[in-house]
A = this chain, B = another copy of it.
Amino acid sequence: VSHDAIARPSASQPIAVDAHGGDHAPDAVIAGAAAAVRDGIPVILVGDEGALRPRLPSRVHLPIRHASEQVGDDESASHAARRKRDSSMRRAAELVRDGAAAAAVSCGNTGAMLATAVITLGLLEGVDRPAIATAVPRKDGGRLVLLDSGANVDCRPELLACFASLGSAYAEALGTARPRVGVLANGTERSKGNAQARAALELIEAGSVDCVGFVEPTGALEGQCDVLVCDGFVGNVLVKGLEGAVDVGFTLFRQELLRYPSARLGAWLVQRAIRRVWRRVAWDEYGGGLLLGARGVVVIGHGRSNPGAVRAAIGLAARAASGSLVPTVERRLAER
């Protein structure tokens, strides 16, 4: 496949959004898409025009690309990707393939969107399996690119080395000059890690990315690396652990604030601070995961996305597209 075959997204191109993906679709998707349009990002909604049209807000430009089918949450990924040729997911991915959209966003069935993206857009040269990258807030205010956060549960070390290149390219596309890549482990010494991590570390150190060795989650969140590589089982568990910890902390804090009148007054005074922190650490502000390795920009949002999460996912897709994600990833892979 020649380099020219890649659709080059421009800032003026819209983001194709699967209107039927996620637990709160289509209403949360429509509301999130409308918010993104107000942010200045053009959007095409993809889905059942008859169902969507009456729900559209007035005074927001939200064109619809009709698709007659929808993919269910418990549907087989390969069946959905291969057979449902007129699904909202498939049509969204096709808009990217055909250069009519800069990126596709879905909060639906992750496996199905992944398979659909691979079938419709194809994989970049040198990529065996795509990975999902999640941007996690760090203590120093930066963002950690964590991958694979859920696409591939059992991985050979070679796959982790591929993720290192993909993640490094993604961090570059998002503006980090020479991303430091860490291999997720239970300690920083070379004797740490499991068999998979130790083998992956050797492969990654022999490659072209800037590898800083094993990094623990605590160290990664403190800013010891820009990209953290692991398999999709561990990555998914880690991302959900971070989300859960934030949720526990905020829930307990809210309970404590209601215990005393003085704390309630204090809560009123610190509410802006709480909101600002929440906006930086809450899962629904991450924008979900970015599919890396496909010949186009695809964002997979959380299934439980509310309008804010959909808006964040669309924002992430727009940033990745305008940062020339796909050409950067392709160049990085060629350097390996």
Report A's interface with B, CB cutoff 8 A.
Answer: 74, 137-139, 150, 153-154, 184-187, 189, 192-195, 197, 216-218, 220-222, 230-234, 236-238, 240-253, 256-257, 259-260, 262-263, 265-270, 272-274, 276-277, 280-281
Contact = CB atoms under 8 A, between A and B. Distances in A.
A236 B266 contact: no
* Chain A interface SS verdict (over half): helix
8 contacts: A153-B186, A153-B192, A186-B236, A193-B233, A216-B240, A221-B241, A249-B281, A256-B272
5 tightest A-B contacts by CB?
Answer: A266-B269, A256-B273, A221-B244, A266-B270, A245-B245
Contact of A217 (B221, B240, B257): B240
B280 A273 contact: no
Contacts of A231: 194
A215 B204 CA distance: 32
A259 B276 CA distance: 11
Q: Which of A245, A247, A277 has the most CB of B within 10 A?
A: A245
> How many copies of this chain are found per oligomer?
2
B266 A193 contact: no
Contacts of A220: 244
Interface centre among A186, A244, A247, A265 (most CB of B within 10 A): A244
A56 to B, nearest CB: 33
Nearest to A271: B266
A213 to B, nearest CB: 15
B256 A237 contact: no
A195 B233 CA distance: 10
Given A240-B217, A244-B218, A263 B253 contact: no
Contact of A233 (B194, B256, B257): B194
Contacts of A253: 273-274, 277
A302 to B, nearest CB: 11
Q: Which of A137, A138, A249, A257 has the most CB of B within 10 A?
A: A249
A247 B153 contact: no
Contacts of A277: 249, 252-253, 256
A74 B256 CA distance: 42
Nearest to A187: B236
A267 B277 CA distance: 14
Given A186-B233, A233-B186, A266-B266, A272 B244 contact: no
Given A234-B234, A238-B241, 5 more contacts: A217-B237, A218-B243, A245-B249, A266-B267, A269-B269
A237 B236 contact: no
Nearest to A262: B269
A281 B251 CA distance: 11
A187 to B, nearest CB: 8
Contact of A237 (B150, B189, B216): B216
Contact of A248 (B139, B230, B269): B139
